[in-house]
Amino acid sequence: MTIIDGKLTAQQLRAEIAAEVAEMVAAGQAAPHLVAILVGNNGASMTYVANKEKMCGECGFRSTVLRMPEETTEEQLLAEVERLNNDPEVDGFIVQLPLPKHIDEQRVIEAISPRKDVDGFTPINVGAMVLGLECFVPATPAGILELLKRYNVPTAGKKCAVIGRSNIVGRPMSILLSQKGWDATVTLCHSRTANLAETVAEADIVIAALGIPGFVKANMVKEGATVIDVGITRVEADNARGWKVVGDVDYAEVAPKCSYITPVPGGVGPMTIISLMKNTLLAAKRRK
Ligand code: L34
């Protein structure tokens, strides 16, 4: 059993990105600039955005976090998006999700210029991704593919079960893995899937992205499977901060059966962040 170390892999990628940025800057170009809009006080979102801001610094990027209050109206947020769309100093920006309930997430996403949509969430980017065209690939699926590649996990002809059909992880993951170059046979499982346990049990690669702690048990996983855990639920814990992060996979039980498995934390999370950096670097390279 090999533990796929997302933290270490992200550090390696960071060094590659930082070296490229140093070259850009030495050539007289401005460092990539990422802006994150954070609306409200969701604790997890604040942590993720702080991690992104820190990683920007470590890559040599410029970064700005726009903190907006919980009561921000949809119109105010849309105005901020429009301002960033037109700001030549900004290469890419993200609107951290989830947004407060009174704001229509889809409407906000659709207002983002596809050229600056480094999350890859706009319909233009999603369409380009589905067609296999040049696009910004959403950070979490991109990070998972990078892990599979760097650990030489074979995907061609393999059966893959993706659990969860979210727009930001499960759905794009299923599409990407089925494309030429990855060549997996993918089943996208969700809350209405019949015989989910049987489907997962046949899979060579299991990607758990449903948001239910410990959902994937040892008896659901084939001996020798590769298991990628995208879950990041905060649960109460007996430690100084009072909580810990747990994945969708019952790690203690499942790990011994796997050829490869990602831990939580330190697996997919750091790769999500570094993939966002890669997209931002790409956006900066494309600027006129
Ligand atoms: N717009 N919203 C937008 N883009 C995204 O790409 C995200 N996502 C998801 C939530 N909303 C978003 C993230 O950034 C999830 N996500 C994310 C980013 C980083 C980490 C986890 C999720 C992360 O750093 N995980 C650490 C543990 C962090 C902790 O202590 O909570 C890990 O090692 O898994």
pLDDT single digits (tens) 238-267: 999 999 999 999 999 999 999 999 999 999
Task: Please tell me whether residues 190 and 227 are part of one structural domain.
Answer: yes
Of 113, 148, 183, the domain-final residue: 113
Task: Please tell me whether residues 104 and 212 are part of one structural domain.
Answer: no
Q: Which of 111, 174, 105, 104 is nearest to 138 (CA)?
A: 174
> Is residue 248 assigned to a domain?
yes
Tell me how many domains the chain contains: 2
Residue 53 phi, psi (nearest 5): -65, -45
Instruction: For residue 139, give the ligand 1 atom closest to its CA.
Output: 6
Residue 288 banded pLDDT, cuts 50, 70, 90: confident
Task: Identify the pLDDT of residue 22.
Answer: 98
Task: Please tell me whether residues 83 and 145 are part of one structural domain.
Answer: no
Task: Please tell me whether residues 183 and 253 are part of one structural domain.
Answer: yes
Q: For the chain, what is the total number of helices (H) and then of strands (E)?
A: 10, 11
Tokens 């950096």: give the residue: 277
Tokens 């659901």: give the residue: 220
Residue 283 banded pLDDT, cuts 50, 70, 90: very high
Bridge-based pairing of strands 243-246 and 233-236 is antiparallel
d(CA 199, CA 197): 6
Task: Identify the pLDDT of residue 98.
Answer: 97
Helix intervals (H) in the chain: 6-26, 43-59, 74-85, 105-111, 123-130, 139-150, 170-178, 196-201, 251-254, 268-286
> Is residue 95 assigned to a domain?
yes
- Domain CATH code at residue 209: 3.40.50.720
> Is residue 1 assigned to a domain?
no
Q: Which residues pair with 224 in a beta bridge?
A: none
> Is residue 154 assigned to a domain?
yes
Task: Please tell me whether residues 263 and 143 are part of one structural domain.
Answer: yes
> Is residue 284 assigned to a domain?
no
Task: Please tell me whether residues 144 and 255 are part of one structural domain.
Answer: yes
Mutation pick for ligand 1 pocket among 3, 5, 48, 173 (CB with most ligand atoms within 8 Å): 48
| Distance from the alpha carbon of residue 285 to the mean position of ligand 1, in angstroms | 25
Determine the structural domain holding residue 84 and report its residue range: 28-113
- Domain CATH code at residue 65: 3.40.50.10860
Task: Please tell me whether residues 254 and 190 are part of one structural domain.
Answer: yes
> Is residue 152 assigned to a domain?
yes
pLDDT, average across residues 89-103: 98
Residue 194: which residues within 8 A CB-CB, separation 6 or more?
none
Task: Identify the pLDDT of residue 89.
Answer: 98
> Is residue 209 assigned to a domain?
yes
> Is residue 93 assigned to a domain?
yes
- Extract the tokens encoding 262: 């990602």
Active site residue 11: no
Task: Please tell me whether residues 104 and 159 are part of one structural domain.
Answer: no
